[in-house]
């Protein structure tokens, strides 16, 4: 251990910072896109039309049964074939992340919407609100408050999963750390630093999720 030299980290910070910004960007886009798609899927799954509900359930269960790395490969290679021109690694990864996260966020949102008491639905209907108005004005605000901790936790998992983009040569934080580790022959130092960064950020995310829980549910 006496041969370790952590000074290489300071020299590599600009490069590592760009990788970290890439990880944050992918996390943010995937969270927003996944929540929007998840909301649509959750509404469809709650539909009284069996065919509509079944199609949405097939989508959700299908993506939840497939590893994310496989989804990334699919869209990296298949999207260019479908559109007839190169799409690029970044756009392929964004599509894959949004579609994948949408399946997970839909289940979180659906659970939250189903947890709203039936009386709330009935009261909204009695007030003359339509189905979508009831969801937007009555059900969804309550569901978001209840499910906020789970959505933050899923965001932490998503941030960790951005490390998978190395398979299409995108330079996220983990890939950047690996490049520095190999080019500077400082593998131990860089991977220890990467572990510390992930630990700090994910711990902060976990603390935020805990703070968002109702007081009676906190550990």
Q: Is residue 206 included in any domain, yes or no?
A: yes
Angle formed at CA 36 by CA 115 and CA 121, multiple of 5 degrees: 30
- Asked, for residue 31, whether it belongs to a domain, the answer is yes
**What is the reported pLDDT for 84?**
80
Mean pLDDT, residues 136-161 taken together: 90
Question: Using 50, 70 and 90 to split pLDDT, how confident is the model at 80?
Answer: confident
Instruction: Read off the pLDDT of residues 193-204 as tens digits, 9 standing for 90 and up.
Output: 999 999 999 999
d(CA 21, CA 8): 20
CA distance 27 to 163: 11
pTM, entire model: 0.88
- Assigned token pair, 200: 């700090």
Domain assignment present for residue 1? The answer is no
Residue 128 belongs to a domain: yes
Domain range for 205 is 7-217
User: What pLDDT band is residue 160 in, cutting at 50, 70 and 90?
Assistant: very high
Query: Please, what's the largest Cα pairwise distance for the chain?
Result: 74
Which uninterrupted H or E stretch holds 36? helix 7-45
Which CATH number covers residue 40? Answer: 1.10.3720.10
pLDDT at position 11 over 60: yes
Tell whether 48 is covered by a domain: yes
Q: Is 2 among the domain residues? A: no
Nearest to 134 by CA among 118, 150, 146, 149: 118
The pLDDT value recorded for residue 3 is 63
Per cent of the chain over pLDDT 70 is 97
Residue 126: the pLDDT is: 80
Asked, for residue 179, whether it belongs to a domain, the answer is: yes
pLDDT band at 108; cut points 50, 70, 90: very high
Question: Which one is predicted more confidently, 79 or 146?
Answer: 146
Q: Given a cut of 90, is residue 100 above it in pLDDT?
A: yes
**Tally of domains in the chain:** 1
Q: What is the pLDDT of residue 217?
A: 60
Q: Is residue 183 part of a domain?
A: yes
Q: Give the range among 2-6, 14-18, 140-144 with minimum mean pLDDT.
A: 2-6
């Amino acid at each position: 251990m006496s041969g370790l030299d952590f000074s290489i980290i300071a020299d590599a910070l600009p490069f590592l910072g760009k990788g970290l910004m890439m990880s944050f960007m992918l996390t943010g886009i995937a969270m927003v896109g996944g929540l929007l798609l998840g909301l649509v899927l959750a509404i469809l799954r709650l539909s009284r039309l069996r065919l509509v509900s079944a199609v949405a359930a097939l989508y959700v269960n299908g993506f939840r049964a497939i590893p994310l790395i496989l989804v990334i490969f699919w869209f990296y290679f298949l999207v260019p074939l479908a559109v007839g021109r190169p799409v690029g690694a970044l756009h392929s990864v964004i599509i894959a992340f949004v579609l994948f996260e949408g399946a997970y966020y839909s289940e979180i949102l659906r659970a939250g919407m189903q947890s709203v008491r039936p009386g709330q639905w009935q009261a909204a209907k009695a007030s003359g609100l339509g189905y979508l108005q009831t969801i937007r004005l009555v059900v969804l605000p309550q569901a978001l408050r209840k499910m906020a901790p789970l959505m933050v936790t899923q965001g932490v998992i998503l941030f960790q999963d951005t490390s998978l983009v190395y398979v299409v040569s995108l330079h996220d934080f983990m890939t950047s750390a690996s490049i520095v580790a190999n080019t500077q022959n400082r593998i131990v130092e860089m991977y220890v630093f990467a572990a510390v960064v992930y630990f700090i950020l994910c711990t902060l995310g976990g603390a935020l999720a805990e703070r968002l829980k109702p007081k009676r549910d906190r550990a």
